[in-house]
Amino acid sequence: MNAIKELREHFAEIMRLHYIQALLSWDQEVNMMEYKGLEGRSKQVSLIEKLIHQRVTSEKVGRLIKEAEKLDLNEIESAMLREITREYNLAIKLPEKLVTEIAETSILAAKEWREARAKSDFSIFQKLLEKTVELQKEKAEKLGTHPDLYSTLIDLYEPGATYDWIANIFNPIKPKLIDFVKKLNSSSDKPDGSIFKKHYDEDKQFELSSKIIKKLNFDFGYGRQDKVTHPFTTSLASMDVRITTRTTEPFPDCITSTIHEYGHAIYEMGIKKELHDTILCTGTSMGIHESQSRMWENIVGRSKEFWMYWYPTFQEYFPENLKDVPMEEFHRAINIVQPSFIRVNADEVTYGLHIILRFEIEKDLIEGKIQVSELPEIWNSKFEELLGIVPPNDAQGVLQDVHWSGGSIGYFPTYFLGNLYGTQIYAKVLEKMPNLPDDYKKGEFSNLLNYLKEEIHQFGSIYRANDLIKRVTGEDLNTDYFLKYIEEKFKLIYRL
């Protein structure tokens, strides 16, 4: 057996350990939200992380990498070696004690975050967040892949990306988004969102959300959906993908959240079998991953054609609320653009401002320019600067996202990158299939899904994000597609 085949077998075991870890985390979020016995779970997750770290950093891996570099490899094997080498080079820089401490702290911090969010009291979460931030700083210092710590953390989620590269994308867009929001809200014919302030039965919301993703070709034989505090998607095996949603937010956010997580899940489900149980059996970057979820959630799920098919079903589920509301008005209402407190509920235009806020705060936090204790005040100040409103409490402000509790600092920028990648990819899809929106009117979504499988999903992590976007669209990431998309869409909705 040659070196690359040995590496593949070795990392198949490592991938299965990752899946076990994912199962523990999934169970924690789905079944243990109110459970007090999380200390035992934190020790279990820490042990799995330790076992993974030991296997990735073993002398065997280092030796096999050197041997594999001398081989004549095909495209998949070359990509596999690239990712294994990256994983190895990162892991050997991190002490085992640090790895296990980060894992253990993330479980306990998630518990504190949930309690703090429920009570809208940041002080409950502050101590463990301070520890989490310090651990992430130490991790970035040990890795040292970029001159600045924040770029090192960003690179873990968007390989090759840096703070400067992202800032050069976000900074020109920020004033354009702020101005466009003001322009839309100056319209004398704004959509009316009052229908969403009515009560919508939570069980019916969940049932309907499941019905929608089944129609979108989510295979419940290889996945399932559950309720959680903060929606997420995770893979428990190559063909076992779990998605989650919540029904407690204003309607129809359960629906849009479910479609969003479906976008993540269908990406993972579409990876070709040749890559199963390999290090390549996952999305190539979180930015590309978000491009798929944001595309399905917004470009498809908030389109008029989508609602021409689905709205009669919604009226059947909620007749008292929707029987006298025309589809046109429902479609306008679901696309209201207005500053709001909760990121996951934000419209397509203001969403980017939510991400820019977190991007700027994370940079200052990691560089020590601001302290964890100052976060609520700084959050509210920047929120008012970017969105013109001030969160009324911590739950709707600094505590709304789960990411920091898990140590995922550097993840947030990928959400807005996903919007940008997604609109660029979709523009290319429409060039090839200009009548695609007509499919949605008939409840047909296979043509879009098949295109995405063929061009993106099947390849897993074979191609890096910058190579993939060029391969699919013929150019580097280009923000013009997003700006054109929101201008054309929302000028119609706001009748400007």
At residue 249's C-alpha, the angle toward residues 485 and 107, to 5°, is 100
Q: Residue 173: which H helix or E strand, with range?
A: helix 163-185
What does the alpha-carbon distance between residue 202 and residue 67 come to, in Å, rounded to a whole number? 57
CA 409 to chain centre: 13
Separation CA 290–CA 411 (nearest Å): 11
Strand (E) or helix (H) holding 59: helix 59-68
Q: 10 Å Cβ neighbour count for 472? A: 20
What three-state secondary structure class fits 70?
coil
User: What tokens appear for 453 in the block?
Assistant: 């499988």
Element (H, E) at 237: strand 233-237
DSSP-derived letter for residue 343 is: G
Calculate the CA dihedral of residues 483, 343, 135, 45 and round it to 10 degrees: -120
Contact 137, 124 (CB under 8 A): no
Active site residue 261: yes
Extract long-range pairs of 58-67: CB within 8 Å, 24+ residues apart.
60/10, 61/7, 61/10, 61/88, 62/88, 62/92, 64/3, 64/4, 64/6, 64/7, 64/10, 65/3, 65/7, 67/2, 67/3
Cis geometry, peptide bond prior to residue 252 (ω within 30 degrees of 0):
yes
Cα–Cα dist 454/397, whole Å: 40
Select which of 29, 49, 83, 261 is catalytic.
Answer: 261
- Distance, in Å, from the CA atom of 331 to the CA atom of 303, rounded to the nearest integer, reads 8
Strands 223-227 and 233-237: unpaired
**Nearest alpha carbon to residue 235 among 294, 174, 276:** 276
- Determine how many CB atoms are found less than 10 A away from the CB of residue 251: 22
199-224 burial, b if ≥16 CB within 10 A, otherwise e? Answer: ebeeeebbebbbebbeebbbeeeebb
User: Catalytic positions, please?
Assistant: 261
